[in-house]
């Protein structure tokens, strides 16, 4: 295994050399053991701060699964929320009288939001809207649906922002407070896993993108996502920060079907239900909150069909494979110095690293349903 671990480190270094990312932290493990933990490169291309294993990353859309989906799981597990409940019964602004598509809106369920089949658009520039966070959320609730709920998978930040509002309505707490008390605390996650991180963490926090004339050189210590920032840094789609060790704790809990060393965090039934893939009329396939592997998967070509995972825009990814008893966490700041730098190198190297992680368990045959990115086709 030592040779395979060194090979993974070499791949990460090669990606740094090609400027796929300034630096990265890779954590690979199983239910009950670590297989490797590597930190390579630097926080920026100026090479002033060496990347370390416990550095803190802006998770971007990993927030959807680590914070929001897990919060919904807790509420479902305790019986406070049902997957078939109507969103409008929890967020009344979503079904205000006078909205032109009211009949559609009245049929949107919690499950539709989790599977990105609500009919909501993928994204809107909330950060350009006037008013405060509350007025922006109310305006979001009036966003017209593009089609009938359940008809098509459209990956939607808006749906998860709305799902965060559902969590707040059901719990009576703000999303970050509910996450802290009901997810981070019982899982014994560190202070690095949080919304709106304390400035004391700044030396460990990895900068993301260059910014304009704001007095800062890079987005550092605050959320990169513009819409999450416009909502006060706390949202259902983005805003969470974390480190590799804490994400590994979450992955292990899921591989243990909700059990932890401290006791049961989630029921097995809820974990299995949320991580089971569903197919939709348009051919799309989603778990509840989580992605399911297909096509040119970010998680590589060895994922089993029952694997689940997610990625984040800043350059983060997490895939969990119950058949292989394996999780792979890759944390980078690939949007540095500008988001345009991600294409194509970040996407190429992300798939290569996730695929190569399977060598730590002796390898697995490629999944015939999955494909290599063009760069790696024909490579040994």
pLDDT in tens, 39-89: 999 999 999 999 999 999 999 999 999 999 999 999 999 999 999 999 999
Question: Is the predicted pLDDT of residue 288 greater than 70, yes or no?
Answer: yes
End-to-end CA distance of the chain: 19
What pLDDT is stored for residue 214 in this prediction?
54
Task: Give residue 281's pLDDT band: very low, low, confident or very high (50, 70, 90).
Answer: confident
Contact predicate 160/227, CB 8 Å: no
pLDDT in tens, 161-181: 999 999 999 999 999 999 999
What pLDDT is stored for residue 213 in this prediction?
56
Calculate what percentage of the chain has a pLDDT beyond 70: 99
Buried b (16+ CB within 10 A) or exposed e, 72-84: bbbbbbeeebebe
Q: Cβ contacts of residue 80 below 8 Å, gap of 6+?
A: 170, 171
Global pTM value? 0.97
Task: Give residue 378's pLDDT band: very low, low, confident or very high (50, 70, 90).
Answer: confident
Q: What is the spatial distance between Cα 270 and Cα 249, in angstroms, rounded to a whole number?
A: 18
Pick the more confident residue, 211 or 146: 146
Task: Give residue 211's pLDDT band: very low, low, confident or very high (50, 70, 90).
Answer: confident
Q: Cβ contacts of residue 346 below 8 Å, gap of 6+?
A: 20, 21, 315, 332, 334
Domains identified in the chain and CATH numbers: 2-67+177-376 (3.40.710.10)
Do the bridges between strand 316-321 and strand 194-195 make them parallel or antiparallel, or are there none, so unpaired?
unpaired
* Summary mean pLDDT of the chain: 96
What pLDDT is stored for residue 323 in this prediction?
98
Q: Which candidate, 56, 332, 67, 331, places its Cα nearest to that of 191?
A: 56
Mean pLDDT of the region 274-297: 94
In a 3-state reduction of DSSP, which class is residue 150?
A: coil
As a dihedral over the C-alpha atoms of residue 222, residue 223, residue 229, residue 231, rounded to 10 degrees, the angle is: -110
Contact predicate 303/366, CB 8 Å: no
Mean pLDDT of the region 122-131: 97
What pLDDT is stored for residue 380 in this prediction?
53
Task: Give residue 140's pLDDT band: very low, low, confident or very high (50, 70, 90).
Answer: very high
Question: Is the predicted pLDDT of residue 216 greater than 80, yes or no?
Answer: no
- My answer on whether omega of the bond before 274 falls inside 30° of 0, hence cis, is no
In a 3-state reduction of DSSP, which class is residue 181?
A: helix
In a 3-state reduction of DSSP, which class is residue 167?
A: helix
């Amino acid at each position: 295994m030592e040779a395979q671990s060194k090979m993974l480190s070499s791949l990460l270094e090669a990606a740094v050399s090609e400027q796929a990312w300034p630096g990265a932290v890779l954590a690979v493990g199983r239910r009950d053991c670590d297989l490797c933990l590597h930190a390579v490169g630097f926080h920026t291309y100026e090479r002033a701060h060496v990347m370390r294993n416990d550095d803190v990353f802006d998770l971007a859309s990993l927030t959807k699964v680590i914070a929001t989906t897990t919060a919904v799981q807790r509420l479902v597990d305790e019986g406070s929320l049902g997957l078939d409940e109507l969103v409008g019964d929890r967020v009344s602004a979503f079904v205000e009288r006078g909205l032109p598509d009211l009949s559609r809106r009245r049929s949107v369920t919690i499950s539709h939001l989790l599977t990105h089949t609500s009919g909501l658009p993928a994204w809107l520039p909330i950060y350009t809207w006037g008013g405060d966070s509350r007025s922006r959320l109310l305006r979001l609730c009036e966003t017209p649906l593009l089609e009938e709920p359940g008809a098509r998978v459209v990956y939607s930040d808006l749906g998860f922002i709305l799902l965060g509002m559902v969590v707040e309505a059901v719990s009576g707490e703000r999303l970050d407070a509910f996450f802290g008390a009901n997810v981070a605390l019982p899982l014994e996650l560190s202070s690095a896993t949080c919304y709106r991180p304390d400035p004391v963490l700044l030396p460990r926090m990895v900068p993301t993108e260059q910014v304009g004339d704001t007095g800062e050189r890079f987005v550092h210590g605050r959320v990169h996502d513009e819409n999450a920032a416009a909502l006060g840094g706390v949202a259902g789609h983005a805003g969470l920060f974390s480190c590799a060790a804490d994400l590994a704790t979450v992955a292990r809990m899921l591989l243990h079907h909700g059990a932890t060393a401290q006791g049961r965090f989630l029921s097995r039934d809820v974990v299995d239900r949320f991580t089971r893939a569903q197919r939709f009329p348009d051919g799309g396939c989603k778990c509840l909150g989580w992605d399911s592997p297909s096509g040119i998967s970010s998680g590589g070509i060895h994922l089993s069909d029952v694997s689940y995972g997610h990625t984040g825009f800043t350059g983060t990814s997490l895939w969990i494979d119950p058949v292989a008893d394996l999780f792979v966490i890759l944390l980078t700041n690939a949007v540095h110095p500008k988001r345009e730098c991600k294409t194509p190198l970040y996407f190429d190297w992300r798939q290569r690293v996730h695929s190569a992680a399977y060598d730590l368990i002796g390898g697995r045959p490629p999944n015939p349903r999955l494909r290599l990115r063009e760069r790696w086709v024909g490579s040994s």
